[in-house]
């Protein structure tokens, strides 16, 4: 499914090249201290997508499971992915690792009582010394590698713990994914004369579908790319604003604690909502186009 249009291509210029970097402490103690950010994004994708095949459907193709593999999921979050993969690993082993105890506990609770062996480990993805060489048939890093402080060290460790013939799947976005949302965001920030330091792209730009290949090729002999698209369509502004707020807080790193008046964010949200409402009134919905995909590494 291809949602690309010339109008969409024109918007990509609005996303800055500079991007935010988040510390491991921010990821653990702020953005993923609880599951709200993740729950909001997962709900929006499931409810408003137009591609009938989900991210997990694509992931299952790439994992090519037979049912008894050992799988390490780095940055496993609240177990949303693990819950759906688990039936395909009835005789396998699942290890979820995440830096944030808040979301990790949610994964543990979600998966309590399943017969597949599950282990939940709190830690940072570049520190895998608790695992032996070749311990896992599959390793995944789903929308998480951009948060890891030392990506190169992490990839070296992944290559070590991967069994011969195993697969590492890294899922991330293209830098221009969700360009319609960022276009409104940066347009309103310009209108509000927001501080320059807020004009940055999301941290996903650290390892995206565009620049990820070379980083991975340093550690894996074969790196293949599979891409797909989706389009979230919001016909009411409220659910869109919930989705936007999750990204705004997470990716633009723009929270009142950053030295801005809390009123700034109220106004930003209101003005973004007005723009989106105009589009909904005109077109019937506001579209957010996702350009996403996975690197499959062996």
Ligand X SMILES: C[S@@+](CC[C@H](N)C(=O)[O-])C[C@H]1O[C@@H](n2cnc3c(N)ncnc32)[C@H](O)[C@@H]1O
Binding positions for ligand X, rule: CB under 6 A: 24, 27, 32, 38, 74-77, 80-81, 98-100, 103, 124-125, 142-144, 147-148
What is the distance between the alpha carbons of residues 32 and 18, in angstroms, rounded to a whole number? Answer: 23
**Tokens 């920030």, residue?**
189
Contact (Cβ atoms closer than 8 angstroms) between residue 284 and residue 253: no
Counting Cβ atoms within 10 Å, is residue 10 exposed (0-12), middle (13-18) or buried (19+)?
Answer: exposed
Q: Which is nearer to ligand X, 11 or 27 (CB)?
A: 27
Shortest distance, CB of residue 125 to ligand X, whole angstroms? 4
Contact (Cβ atoms closer than 8 angstroms) between residue 72 and residue 138: yes
64-102 in b/e form (b: 16+ CB < 10 A) is: ebeeebbbbbbbbbbbbbbeebbebbeebbbbbbbbbeb
Shortest distance, CB of residue 120 to ligand X, whole angstroms? 12
Shortest distance, CB of residue 35 to ligand X, whole angstroms? 9
Shortest distance, CB of residue 8 to ligand X, whole angstroms? 24
Q: Which is nearer to ligand X, 74 or 223 (CB)?
A: 74
Q: Which is nearer to ligand X, 16 or 123 (CB)?
A: 123
Shortest distance, CB of residue 49 to ligand X, whole angstroms? 14
Q: Which is nearer to ligand X, 11 or 246 (CB)?
A: 246
**Tokens 């299952």, residue?**
60
Q: Which is nearer to ligand X, 105 or 277 (CB)?
A: 105
């Amino acid at each position: 499914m291809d949602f690309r249009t010339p109008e969409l291509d024109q918007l990509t210029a609005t996303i800055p090249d500079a991007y935010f970097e988040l510390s491991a402490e921010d990821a653990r103690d702020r953005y993923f201290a609880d599951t709200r950010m993740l729950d909001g994004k997962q709900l929006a994708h499931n409810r408003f997508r137009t591609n009938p095949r989900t991210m997990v459907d694509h992931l299952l193709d790439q994992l090519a499971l037979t049912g008894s593999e050992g799988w390490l999921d780095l940055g496993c979050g609240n177990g949303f992915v693990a819950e759906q993969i688990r039936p395909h690993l009835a005789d396998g082993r699942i290890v979820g690792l995440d830096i944030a105890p808040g979301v990790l506990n949610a994964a543990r609770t979600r998966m309590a009582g399943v017969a597949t062996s599950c282990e939940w480990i709190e830690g940072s993805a570049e520190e895998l010394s608790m695992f032996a060489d070749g311990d896992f048939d599959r390793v995944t890093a789903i929308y998480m590698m951009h948060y890891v402080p030392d990506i190169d060290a992490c990839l070296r460790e992944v290559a070590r713990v991967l069994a011969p013939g195993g697969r590492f799947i890294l899922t991330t976005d293209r830098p221009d994914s969700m360009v319609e949302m960022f276009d409104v965001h940066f347009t309103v920030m310009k209108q509000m004369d927001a501080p320059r330091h807020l004009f940055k792209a999301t941290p996903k730009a650290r390892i995206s579908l565009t620049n990820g290949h070379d980083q991975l090729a340093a550690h894996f002999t074969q790196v293949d790319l599979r891409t797909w698209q989706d389009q979230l369509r919001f016909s009411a502004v409220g659910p869109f604003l919930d989705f936007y707020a999750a990204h705004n807080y997470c990716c633009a790193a723009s929270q009142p604690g950053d030295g801005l008046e809390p009123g700034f964010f109220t106004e930003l949200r209101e003005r973004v909502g007005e723009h989106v409402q105009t589009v909904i009134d005109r077109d019937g919905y506001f579209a957010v186009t996702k350009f996403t995909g996975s690197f499959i590494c062996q």
